[in-house]
Amino acid sequence: MLGQLLLPELRELIQLNDSAGLREFLNALHPATCAEVLDQVSPAENWSVLASAPFEKQAEIFGYFEPARQMRLVESVERPHLSKLIETMAPDDRVDLLKEMDPEHVEALLPLMAQAERNDIRRLLSFPDGSAGSIMTTDYASLSEHITVAEALDQLRRQAPDRETIYYIYILDDDRKLDGFVTLRTLILARPNAKLDEIMERDVFAVRVDDDQEKVAQVMAKYDFLAIPVTDNQNRLVGIITHDDVIDVLQEEATEDVYRAGAMSPLEDSYLATPVRQILWKRGVWLVGLLATGFLSATALKHFRPNATEAEWAVAFLPLVLASGGNSGSQSATLVIRALTIESLSRADCLRLLGRELLMATILGLTLMLEAFLLAMFLETPSKAMVVAMTVFMLVWMGSMAGTLLPLAFKKLGMDPAMMSNPLIAALVDITGGVIYYSVARMVLSQT
């Protein structure tokens, strides 16, 4: 919204080619706001505006563009400018960018950067997507435990300008092993001549470099930390993950779960920033696959078809019975997937969960069975209404059990439980549902 309000002013400055005015414009605004306005001009204009500011400012603003926009910008700038920009960016932001880029392009850029930055980039690039290492930054503040508070504040003042945060300071021994941490709040409150090893907190929660980013987010959300240290397998500090990265992870994971519940592959960018072709693909793959399972259900129904007179009355209730199974199944799946995502369930918890779902499936099944019977009585005879009601009970029960067991099974197999659970359950109910329905019809109606 702010971005659109500021656009006319930016356009005017661009037309006047007023480089001092542009610099002032960029300085007055938060980098996120700058990115929002610049998003609306052409890549060439974007670069000419950015060029008016120092590289530090450029790098900060660039970090706030969405990946799709970054890619378009990267293609329209000369290599020396780009390599300098990347050198200046925060370690975690630049690695996100380089991961999106064509590997050949990256290899061409790296030799233009300083050795130290190059090494840092190569190391961060080596961590797999979704690991703690892939979202951490190496710009952390650290001190030795043998100095005093006054010395610590002095050293911090020197470290501060290029550290992502100086509010949590990590205390390392000579091997860079993590011994403890101290907050800036504690430092400010302590006697200037106290030693750090007297005031530091030795009980540090750290994550491993190869831990899942979802686990990192869980720990941070639970303990309300501002930052969490990341260590290698020898307990040496290699980076930190800050609260803003965790917010990004939480939004990413939640969005993924929502997309999966909606029967499609997750988008990486926002909806309007994602090319239509890409969304079509992410939707199409699922729809084509689900239609194929629909074909299985058609085949089953064709081979198991009732005689013409049965079909005539029964078909009216087919969507009703299938939907009730699908809905209860997607409820169970949603509950189980959320529980698996947010809580860390022990074996006993999983059994409790299974017990609860069994109980609820039975109670909900009986309730809906009664409702279905009463409603169906408006349209059909009691025995036919009974067929509908019994089928509803069975499908609600079956859907709910599938919704409970599938995500647990996916989790056990090391897969994402949110993956394909909802549509798979609906497909399962559709394929078996019709067959169950007609079997019940035959059984009940042949007896009356």
> Which residues inside 8-37 make contact with a second copy, applying CB under 8 A?
28-30, 32
- In the complex with a second copy, which residue's Cβ is closer, 106 or 311? 311
Residues between 96 and 125 that touch a second copy (CB under 8 A): none
162 binds a second copy (CB under 8 A): no
Least CB distance to a second copy at residue 224 (A): 4
User: x/- binding map, residues 183-212, to a second copy, per CB under 8 A?
Assistant: -xx--xx-------------x-x-------
Among 226, 354, 444, 445, binds a second copy (CB under 8 A): 226
Q: What tokens appear for 305 in the block? A: 């078809």
User: x/- binding map, residues 273-292, to a second copy, per CB under 8 A?
Assistant: ---x--xx--xx-xxx-xxx
Residues between 351 and 410 that touch a second copy (CB under 8 A): 352-353, 356, 359-360, 363-364, 367-368, 371-372, 375-376, 378-379, 392, 396
Least CB distance to a second copy at residue 23 (A): 16
Q: Contact region for a second copy (CB under 8 A) — 91-99, 108-116, 120-128, 420-428? A: 420-428
Among 119, 270, 381, 448, binds a second copy (CB under 8 A): 270
Residues between 295 and 314 that touch a second copy (CB under 8 A): 295, 297-299, 301-302, 305, 308-309, 311-313
Q: Contact region for a second copy (CB under 8 A) — 76-84, 100-108, 191-199, 430-438? A: 430-438
Among 101, 294, 439, 445, binds a second copy (CB under 8 A): 294
Residue 67 C-beta-side C-alpha neighbours within 13 Å:
15
Do the Cβ atoms of 445 and 387 come closer than 8 Å? yes
Residues between 63 and 92 that touch a second copy (CB under 8 A): none
- In the complex with a second copy, which residue's Cβ is closer, 83 or 260? 260
Among 330, 387, 398, 408, binds a second copy (CB under 8 A): 330
- Closest by CA to 361, choosing from 317, 392, 315, 321, is 392
Q: Binding residues for a second copy, how many (CB under 8 A)?
A: 120
Least CB distance to a second copy at residue 423 (A): 7
